[in-house]
Structure 1
Amino acid sequence: MKLFLASVLALSALAATPAHANLKVFACEPEWGSLLQELGGDKLDVDVATSALQDVHQIEAKPSLIAKVRRADLIVCSGAELEIGWLPQLIRQSGNPKIGSGAGSFMAASQVTTLEKPTALDRANGDVHPEGNPHLQMDPNRMLTIAKALDARLVQLDPANAATYQQRLGDFSARWSAAIKRWTAQAAPLKGRNIVVHHNSWIYLTNWLGMHEIGSLEPKPGVPPTSAHLVSLIGITKSSNTLAIVRTAYQDSKPSEWLSDHTDVPAVSLPFTVGGDAQSKDLFGLYDSTIAKLLAAAKGAKP
């Protein structure tokens, strides 16, 4: 009888001991949600605020997002003011003191050197980010640096699972480094090629692959394409052996297709982030699809 009572008491004590709760993370963009999955697996509960079919410059601070921020232990975002139009409002309305600054706030752009950082700010130049271009996810080398910094933050906030985070980082780093070598070799035919872009979203990709942006469908960053501006791009697009006219999955296809019709240069939709097309189910698929579509354009195949 005593043994039975002792067993009951032991089980009751075990049941009363709370299990280690998963770290709750709010990711602003799909690429960071995917990276968190690589680094944390089932040790994290991740909410992703946006999808590949949304322009992350312009997100509505909905009550559902406020609720997700309210319960977060950590927010992971691109930073460099990409989310300036909605993230500060979410943080303020959530009333969550853990994620406004300090260890609970992780901005990817703060972990690396950004490109296109302006020397002077003038709103007349369009939607210019003072801390540099925030679309970091298209450079795999910067992504690896960010992954290491993010893993260290997870260890800091959740030391009980430090060994898991460190093991998963090692595994991811090995697979990612091998993939960078493969992607770089595959993309060799793209070096030196010219593209026209819808928005200045691609500088990290073109910088990595040695490509060149020779024009933008937007007259200024964030300013919608106009008929007059599109007409002005016909000459340079035709004369520059242009590889493709590039847009993201969420951008209006009409401007790029119009310019394509008037120049015979293919209009190509690239995934830009995880979920941007059927192949881009994770970060590896994002790069696989991006390079495959650019190579298809280079070979004259339908992208």
Structure 2
Amino acid sequence: MLRSIKLIRAHAVSLLMLLGFAGQAQAALNVFACEPEWASLTQALGGDKVDVFSATTALQDVHHIEAKPSLVAKMRSAQLVVCTGSQLEVGWLPVVLRQSGNVAVQPGKPGYFEAASVVNMLEVPTRLSRAEGDVHPGGNPHIQTDPRNIARVADALAKRLAEVDVGNAAFYQQAHQTFSKRWQAAIDRWQTQAAPLKGTAIVVQHKGFPYLEDWLGLKEVTALEPKPGVEPSGSYLSEVLGVLKTQPAQMVVRAAYSSDRPSNWLAEHAGIPAVELPFTVGGTPAAKDLFSLFDDTIARLLAAQASAQKAKRSAP
């Protein structure tokens, strides 16, 4: 009788252990994404194999995020960190990483991934000085506005997911192949739709669009910020208005997280449309994922161009 009880207990313990291991095997990979675009991309590549947390939203300025205890807590349980890099998150991410004590996701470890490391960076400064404003040594970090960069990041991120989560490597490979086919087809469609935008002169509120400009062939006349990250004064806006008298622009562009006051002022005084672009996933109601992000971006630019052309035709 005693032996039977012991055997039952042993079987029960073994069953509990097997259930525990099965639960661990099925547990989703915890991913800490610094920005919504990388959260969306990781979800597209990882499906139900990943549990993705986005540390920021599209309506926040990622340069200026507080290293809150809630972010530290999320970092503690992360198995993979996916961020832009190029010092975009330098004001808060190092603090969160350090305070988390999570050795597996520190820079240099497989659990730490920087998107900017796999793309061709634009606007790399020739000299560094705080007097120049919010300048990034590695180049402009707003790489997500060019879908070709998203494709490059997807290639590298899929490999990293497979490296960190070996058991699901085949899943990530297949998901990447599916995503890549859809993404390339979308890029071809977007480029056809956006062809009329090539050569369009624009003013930007913040220098956050060089990759979008490079992709679509937009021509940046000037920026409303006198230096990156520095709010324009009334006198500086008047200077910009003077520039447009000799170098006309068709629209003024800003990201959804930025204040609309400077761009609206210029739009009113220069007689050109002000365009709010989502900038990342969630920036506008229509930009629900990476695909609709670029659908909405191009639709807004084309609508602004049509508005500018209509105004020009009706001008006396």
Do these two structures clear the TM 0.5 threshold for a shared fold by scoring above it? yes
Say if 1:94 and 1:11 are closer, same or farther in 2 by CA, change over 3 A: closer
Between stretches 174-183 and 9-18, larger displacement belongs to 9-18
Q: Deviations over 1:156-200 (max 9, x none)?
A: 011110111011100100000000000001000100011111111
Which residue identity is paired with 1:45? D
Between stretches 274-283 and 99-108, larger displacement belongs to 99-108
How many angstroms apart in 1 are the aligned matches of 2:245 and 2:42?
A: 42
How many angstroms apart in 2 are the aligned matches of 1:239 and 1:115?
A: 27
CA drift of 1:124 comes to 1.3
CA drift of 1:239 comes to 4.3
How many angstroms apart in 2 are the aligned matches of 1:12 and 1:60?
A: 42
Aligned to 2:116: 109
1:1-303 maps to which residues of 2 (within 5 A)?
14-19=18-23, 20=25, 21-101=27-107, 102-300=109-307
Say if 1:224 and 1:100 are closer, same or farther in 2 by CA, change over 3 A: same
Aligned to 2:314: none
Supply the RMSD in Å over aligned alpha carbons.
1.8
How many angstroms apart in 2 are the aligned matches of 1:103 and 1:296?
A: 43
Aligned to 2:72, what secondary structure does the other structure show?
helix
How many angstroms apart in 2 are the aligned matches of 1:128 and 1:158?
A: 35
How many angstroms apart in 1 are the aligned matches of 2:18 and 2:274?
A: 61
How many angstroms apart in 1 are the aligned matches of 2:42 and 2:224?
A: 33
Say if 1:230 and 1:16 are closer, same or farther in 2 by CA, change over 3 A: closer
Which residue identity is paired with 2:147? P
Aligned to 1:274, what secondary structure does the other structure show?
coil
Which residue identity is paired with 1:17? F
How many angstroms apart in 1 are the aligned matches of 2:262 and 2:16?
A: 66
How many angstroms apart in 2 are the aligned matches of 1:17 and 1:179?
A: 41
Which residue identity is paired with 2:41? L
Aligned to 1:221, what secondary structure does the other structure show?
coil
Aligned to 2:276, what secondary structure does the other structure show?
strand
TM-score, normalised relative to structure 2: 0.91
**Gaps (5+ residues) in structure 1?**
none
Say if 1:256 and 1:18 are closer, same or farther in 2 by CA, change over 3 A: same
Q: Deviations over 1:184-229 (max 9, x none)?
A: 0100010001111111100000000011111111000111111111
**Gaps (5+ residues) in structure 2?**
311-316
How many angstroms apart in 1 are the aligned matches of 2:70 and 2:16?
A: 37
**8 Å contact from structure 1 (residues 196, 237) kept in 2:** no
Q: Deviations over 1:23-68 (max 9, x none)?
A: 1110000000000011001100111000011000000011110100
Aligned to 1:113, what secondary structure does the other structure show?
coil
Say if 1:45 and 1:16 are closer, same or farther in 2 by CA, change over 3 A: closer
CA drift of 1:90 comes to 0.3
Total equivalences in the alignment:
298
Which residue identity is paired with 2:124? K
How many angstroms apart in 1 are the aligned matches of 2:199 and 2:21?
A: 61
How many angstroms apart in 2 are the aligned matches of 1:143 and 1:237?
A: 33
Aligned to 1:35, what secondary structure does the other structure show?
helix
Aligned to 1:299, what secondary structure does the other structure show?
helix
Regions of 4+ moved over 3 Å: 8-14, 238-241
